[in-house]
Chains A and B, each alone.
Chain A
Amino acid sequence: MIPGTFDYHSPDTLDEAIKLLNDLGEDAKVLAGGHSLLPMMKWRLAEPTHLVDISRLSDLDYIKEENGYLCLGAMVTESALENSELIAAKYPILKDTSEVIADPLVRNLASVGGNIAHGDPANDHPATMLALNAIVVVCGPNGSKREINIDDFFLGPLWTALQDNEILTEIKIPIPKQYSGGCYIKLERKVGDYAIAACAATLDFENGQCISAGIGLTNVGPTPVRASDSQNMLVGTDVSDEIIEKASVLASETSQPVGDHRGSEEYKRGVVKTLTERAIMKAKNRALGGN
């Protein structure tokens, strides 16, 4: 790798990191796991003059349930998520997602926070976080802290609600109810590739009826896409095969894919339907006690 010239900063505390970002302005980029930023620097598509490395901030590395939420520190690695017993038992959709990101070497370093903060609609966690109705916790200068609803976080390709002097510190996910299930299904040309398309689905059931649904789509729009019509179709039903079919068609219609070497628009819409169908089916099984 022969990137452009940059200064490297390795703060010891979160406050110090935020101060650096605040002082350095837009020429600084946060370096977490580095697996989105470094490839861009390698190609000189990104040439930040300062890198603020937050990988030593161990207080951002935790997976815990607290006050009704699953709280993921921003520096939790994909492999930590993949191997967590708590995640496997209660949040299999997160395990599904981590497992299909890149390859094990990357997952050992890449962080869940970075995957979201990078704002790439081709990344896998964003759609999952949409389906899970996550909240993004962000810290800024002078001890400021705000919570951003995931629906307000992604603004465009590589563009999020994060300010230059803010750091994404935590992701909060509501603890699932008794009859809840979710899953993430990705179609890729080869292991480790960006998705041709992928679908994250979550369902909550009460008395056999779906009371809420989350459908998020990867890499079929300028931001991760929430398939609201599809969600609405499911809520208040028993999520029969017929309903699933209809909801999947709606997801396909909501998606905004662009043709590229991963597939034409027509093909991507086709597979969004298929993936949504499969994801809802699997989420339903998981919610109702299957796998």
Chain B
Amino acid sequence: MGNLIGKAVKRVEDNRFIKGEGKYTDDFNMKNQTFAMYVRSPHAHAKINNIDISSAEAMDGVVKVFTGKDIAEAGIVGSICGWQVDFKNGDTMKEPGHPILVADKVRHVGDPVALVIAEDKYIARDASELIEVDYDILDAVVDPKAAVHDGAPQVHDDVPNNKIYEWEIGDKESTDTAFENAHHVTSLSFHNQKLVPNAIEPRAALGHYDSNEDKYTLYTTSQNPHLARLIIAAFVLSIPEHKLRVISPDVGGGFGSKIFAYNDECGILWASKQIGRPIKWTADRSEAFITDCHGRDHVTDAKLALDADGKITGLRTKTYAAMGAYLSNFSTCVPSYLHGTLMQGLYTTPAVHVDVTAVVTHTVPVDAYRGAGRPEATYSIERLIETAAKEIGMDPAEFRKKNFIPAFDGVSQPGYQTQVALQYDSGDYEGALNKALEVSDYEGLKSQREEARSKGRLMGIGFSTYIEACGIAPSAVVGSLGARVGLYDAASIRVHPTGKVTIHSGAHSHGQGHETTFAQVVADAFGIGMDDVNVVHGDTENVPFGMGTYGSRSLAVCGSAIMKSVDKVKEKGARIAAHKLECSPDDLEFANGAWTVKGTDKSVGFGDVALTAYVPHDYPEGEEPGLDFASFYDPANFVYPFGTHICVVEIDKETGEVEILKYVAVDDCGNIINPMIVEGQVHGGIAQGVGQALYEGAVYDDSGQLLNGTMLDYTMPRADNFPMFETDHTVTPCPHNPLGVKGIGEAGTIASTPAVVNAVIDALSDYGVKDLQMPLTPQRVWKAMNNNGKL
């Protein structure tokens, strides 16, 4: 290994981003391009009697108006669900249709009913206002639990009681027994509220059908262009895959919301062929609020059983998980396999049972959002843990230590098999907790809290000790659980004749810093400079079929594919070097950018070998020229990052405002390639998780209107809401991938939400407040204090 791994190398991509010179989908233009605007339903549930497009069509500059009728006549189905989760009784999951344009009945505010294409975006917008839709407004249902009641408004005729599936995991019988025999039971009920992802760049598409080439091109805001191509080409529009090129250039954040192949983008591509001209569509912020897939929206009852000694004996949850009005690509796996399987947390809980009913409601579809299922699981567990510790009068840190899974490295000790299907790879949960206690000076904090309270100030300390599963895999296992895709990744390494290197990555970078981290890994491996390596991603014509970026998988999965290609380059390089040095490859060692004959000073550099590979005049017999390898990597298991977050808050008694005084995060993501990027990911993750705890949440009224669908109304946290985070880490390498890395993209979001809520509840303990529903707005906290906690 070289000297770059573990270095806080500055992000190479920031040069263009800081200058505002990134190239995003909306920055691309094509000759003869038109502009599109979707006309969207203002109602959550309504029958369409008639759509009158005549005035819009007659407007100067309008090229074409499509409605649901055109889509239906073309026989196009909408985007698909990529994960089949069946009912526990064996019945098949319900999969209602999802038309690109709705012809008969709208099912959420934002459901598209027409597509207007015009010479410019102003005309498109003006024309869209001329379209008259005659709606019969129907009752709507927005609450996931209410949706299953008999008589509740039905979202789809073919989904009785709005139930997509009823799923369970764990052992119900042993869990029931644990609760029957429990010395103490802690019970809580939550609404893990619906969140709007709000990536800074709204979704966009620039679609073009070239009739000469008989080929489609789609520039779009995707976290995974190959997956988008597969879904759009093979499942939605029936285009041969080789005739569709998907380019996902710079993308301004996704947080999960740009994993999915949305109908809107499919519609643009389809329409471009119909009109024979390129079409650009860029959502505005208001549109993003009502069309980007939301996150969370779980209504959960959670219970924890304890014995007389304070050992956890059982955990049970029952969740109603909203899918929104339609099934987005991975909506179904989020509350099941990404949620239920994490419900043991990092505790030895011997009996766990998770029951999930997935339901459709008249709201924006819900799918993976930073953490995806794991934050919901962690919230349930960590709120229960902290509440139980309080109820039995034990320090929350001690209570956790008593119940933690003991440390195991996954090499000399086996992985840890949970009650809910997963086998954790390696972990030292108490180690991370101890470090956090030390970094935060927990004993000192407790004295400060005592002192503050004696002066009538409301200070609270909250913990969250989390585990998450990233780099979801292996493909065969997820396939057996209903996934309709593989979950490997791919990368190629092209060594150029002068020894410079290009990485073609199946993972897509939209804020994660792959252009730096991946280059760092490869430059380190070859003993060359950062400047000698570049990373290409985001174009299906140029990168191998990787599955993209989500679930904190890029380094663990795509990074492993990169390392496989690195090994192949080194292996072939060694053969070429051996030829040049007139020795056997076995006699060589590679270090500092050169192959050296062991025990001698005879060596040949990486650049020399590269040049020889491309100018193979004096060359090993039978060896192919070139130094260019692609690899696919299908992981043996998930990776399991973990850690401890500690949050300290103070509450303003008179206004109910919560101030975070201190925030300590100790994360273990295995080996660290770039500590600065890791820290950045933790910072962003914490901010997003705190957003859920204190500020954010989609608010619907009973008719299904989103009441806070603007940046003015929706409370995104801002920098001044946070103290300087104190981050640290422990290192427990992943035993099953070449870099020993886990994942860090979602850890902050998963950990922080319960840590903050636990701290606030702790601060309110004098008021007898046991629980509060998120977000903990000043008003909610104020009410809790002013009603003596009786809400």
Residues of A within 8 A of B (CB): 2, 4-5, 39, 43-44, 187, 189-194, 196, 261-264, 267, 270-271, 274-275
> Separation in Å of the B680 CB from the closest CB of chain A?
21
B782 cross-chain contacts in A, Cβ below 8 A:
267, 270-271
Are A190's CB and B779's CB within 8 A?
no
The answer, among A2, A189, A192, A194, for a CB contact under 8 Å with B778, is A189
- State whether A190 touches B713 (Cβ < 8 A): no
CA–CA, A127 and B708, complex, Å: 26
Instruction: Let me know if B98 is at the binding interface, CB within 8 A.
Output: no
B173 within 8 Å of A (CB atoms)? no
Question: Is B695 in contact with A190, judged by CB distance below 8 angstroms?
Answer: yes
Mask for B776-791, Cβ within 8 A of A = 1, else 0? 0111001100100000
Q: Which residues of B contact A (CB under 8 A)?
A: 121-122, 125-126, 129, 284, 286, 654-657, 695, 699, 707-708, 710, 712-713, 715-721, 777-779, 782-783, 786
Give chain A residues whose Cβ lies under 8 Å from the Cβ of B721.
Answer: 190-191
User: In the assembled complex, which residues on chain B have CB atoms less than 8 Å from the CB atom of A43?
Assistant: 286, 710
Q: From A39, which residue of chain B is reached at the shortest CB distance?
A: B712
**19 sampled A-B residue pairs with Cβ under 8 A:** A2-B121, A2-B122, A4-B126, A39-B712, A43-B286, A43-B710, A189-B715, A191-B719, A196-B779, A261-B699, A261-B707, A261-B708, A263-B779, A264-B779, A267-B783, A270-B782, A271-B655, A271-B778, A275-B655
Contact A189 B718 (CB under 8 A): no
For residue B720, which residue of chain A has the nearest CB? A191
Q: How far apart are the CA atoms of A188 and B373 in the complex, in Å?
A: 31
Q: A2-B121, A190-B717, A190-B721 are in contact. Are A263 and B778 (CB under 8 A)?
A: yes
The interface centre, meaning the residue of A189, A264, A271 with most chain B CB atoms within 10 A of its CB, is A189
| Residues from chain A with Cβ under 8 Å of B707 in the complex | 261
Cα(A39)–Cα(B712), bound, Å: 10
Are A192 and B122 closer than 8 Å at their CB atoms? no
Contact status A189-B777, CB under 8 Å: yes
What distance in Å separates the Cβ of A87 from its nearest Cβ neighbour in chain B?
A: 22
Cβ of A11 to closest chain B Cβ, rounded Å: 25
A44 to B713, CA, bound (A): 17
Q: CB-CB < 8 A to B715: which residues of A?
A: 189-190, 193
Interface of B is mostly: loop
A-B CB contacts (within 8 Å), total count: 58
Q: Lowest 6 A-B CB distances belong to which pairs?
A: A274-B654, A2-B125, A267-B779, A263-B779, A191-B718, A189-B715
Residue A190 contacts which of B129, B284, B286, B718 (CB distance < 8 angstroms)? B718
Chain B residue at smallest Cβ distance from A197: B655
Instruction: Give bound CA distance, A187 to B783, whole Å.
Output: 16
Q: Which of B657, B717, B786 contacts A187 (CB 8 A)?
A: B657
Q: Is the CB of B284 within 8 A of A187?
A: no
Given pairs A43-B286, A190-B716, A271-B654, 11 additional interface contacts (CB within 8 A)? A2-B122, A44-B129, A187-B778, A189-B777, A190-B695, A191-B720, A196-B779, A262-B779, A267-B778, A267-B782, A274-B654
CB proximity of B647 to chain A, nearest CB, Å:
18
Least CB distance from A4 to B in Å reads 7
When distances are taken between beta carbons in the complex, the residues of chain B under 8 Å from A271 are 654-655, 778, 782
A164 CB, min distance to chain B CBs, angstroms? 25
Alpha-carbon distance between A189 and B721 when the two chains are bound, in angstroms: 10
Cα distance A249–B712 in the bound complex, in angstroms: 30
Q: Measured between alpha carbons, how far is A193 from B712 in the docked complex, in Å?
A: 7
Which chain A residues border B654 with CB–CB below 8 Å?
A: 270-271, 274
Chain A residues in 8 Å Cβ range of B720: 191
Q: How far is the CB of B502 from chain A (nearest CB, A)?
A: 38
B783 neighbours in A (Cβ, 8 Å) = 267
CB of A241, distance to nearest CB on chain B (Å) = 14
Within the complex, what minimum Cβ distance (angstroms) separates B195 from chain A? 15
**Least CB distance, A76 to chain B, in whole angstroms:** 24
The docked-state distance in angstroms from the alpha carbon of A261 to that of B654 is 19
Residue in contact with A261 in the complex, picked from B122, B655, B656, B713, CB distance below 8 Å:
B713
In the bound assembly, the distance between CA atoms of A261 and B778 in angstroms comes to 12
Q: Shortest CB–CB separation between residue A51 and chain B, in angstroms?
A: 15
Q: In whole angstroms, how far apart are the Cα atoms of A43 and B284 in the complex?
A: 10
**CA–CA, A236 to B98, complex, Å?**
71
A271 to B715 alpha-carbon distance, docked (Å)? 19
Residue ID in chain B nearest A275 by CB atoms: B655
Q: Is the beta-carbon distance between A194 and B712 smaller than 8 angstroms?
A: yes
